[in-house]
Structure 1
Amino acid sequence: MPSANAPQWLQQPSLREQPEASVLDWLFDQGSLTRRLTQLSADHFSVTPLHEGWAPLRDDECLALELPPQSIGWVREVYLRGHGQPWVFARSVASRSALEQGGLNMDELGTRSLGELLFCDQAFTRRAIEACHYPATWLPPEHAREGLWARRSRFDRDGLSLLVAEVFLPAMWQVARPHQKDN
């Protein structure tokens, strides 16, 4: 049973509130977010791990991964940075059993981007991108604010499923919006 404050992740046609075109472009872009942020930052892109480890997955994550509630999984939370500024908060999760059988060592990524790994491995298939306003309580305290747009998608490979959620922080929009107007 989803909690009352859990977001409703929806595909673009089902969104009740349609964000402006520049936001939609980032939310539903099918390419690698890592590559796009690297380009936007003129190669001043980095990944800062915040948390990695085994933990109970949230209800919405269990539902998306077709797992029983409170399943244990690997949780990786990072900042994707441009010019040293946190531009995106990313949370990636996978079930313990899938990781143990799937041959992906998420605990060895360190400051490498999981997204780049997923896009370089042709065996992964990406399911539909969903978006929502991410709950402030799920963000690191220094960026906790309501109304931030997030997207997520599930990547599958031979029984291994990873759920990747990316929350776009205000500092990224300060750079992305002027950049889009120039193109």
Structure 2
Amino acid sequence: MGIADRWGLRAWLRAPGSLSKRLAATGARFEVQVLRQTTAPLRPQERAALGLPRRGLTVVREVLLRVDGQPLVWARSAVHGDSLKGPWKALKGLGSRPLGHLLYDDPRIHRSELQPRRVTRHGATHAQMQRQWREATGTEAPAGMQWSRNSVFRRHGKLLRVMELFAPAVAERHPGPLRLKRRRR
């Protein structure tokens, strides 16, 4: 990966706001391909981020985000099942609509800071992504697909974790202007 590619990917990892809207702005057609929405065990990072006990129903949604047919992001969201009866109940009927539409249209939802993270090549997340990528596209996932960004959304005290794993090709697209935080004086 060249220096320009690294800087391009770094911009995506730090880009605030809706990833779906940013991706959609880079092409003519944006789509969400739902790979799976089911109950599943939480992974250690999800459990820590959501502060959940070892037991309980957890709903996981895994998707591919495509622009003009090209898969660019594999994403996984996780929420405790109890939250589906309350503040996150809209997740049940989301279908192939972007999760971002739900997260950024409600001023009561607050997002944590973005946390870029390298996904281990031999971990459960990487294996799941590879398997689903192959099934959805008929090709292997890009070898350099290892950088993700993670964040937690809070609404009425209930948490939703989102992890977005970027294909290297996303670095060829521009995420749009980054809003810099202004320092308070």
TM-score above 0.5: yes
- The answer as to 2:50 corresponding to 1:65 is yes
Q: How many pairs does the alignment contain?
A: 159
TM-superposed CA distance for 1:24, in Å, is: 1.7
Q: Counterpart of 2:17 in 1: which secondary structure?
A: coil
Contact 1:58–1:70 (8 Å) recurs in 2: no
Structure 1: gaps of 5 or more residues: 1-18
Residue 130 of structure 2, aligned match among 140, 164, 169? 140
1:57-96 matched pairs, under 5 angstroms: 57-69=42-54, 71-96=56-81
CA-to-aligned-CA distance 1:126-158 (integer Å, 9 cap, x gap): 011111112332413222746521001000010
Q: Counterpart of 2:25 in 1: which secondary structure?
A: helix
**TM-score (structure 2 length as normaliser):** 0.78
CA distance in 1, matches of 2:13, 2:69: 22
CA distance 1:147–1:89, change in 2 (3 Å): closer
Higher relative contact order (CA 8 A, sep 6+): 2
**TM-score (structure 1 length as normaliser):** 0.78
Give % identity.
35
Structure 2: gaps of 5 or more residues: 121-125, 135-140, 177-185
Displaced runs of 4 or more, over 4 A: 144-147
Contact 1:62–1:71 (8 Å) recurs in 2: no
* Corresponding position of 1:158: 156
* Bigger mean CA offset, 157-166 vs 93-102: 93-102
* Corresponding position of 1:35: 21
CA distance in 2, matches of 1:144, 1:45: 20
* RMSD between superposed Cα atoms in Å: 2.1
1:1-183 matched pairs, under 5 angstroms: 20-42=6-28, 44-69=29-54, 71-135=56-120, 136-141=126-131, 142=134, 143=141, 145=143, 148-173=146-171, 175-176=172-173
Query: What is the letter of the counterpart of residue 172 of structure 1?
Result: V
CA distance in 2, matches of 1:88, 1:111: 14
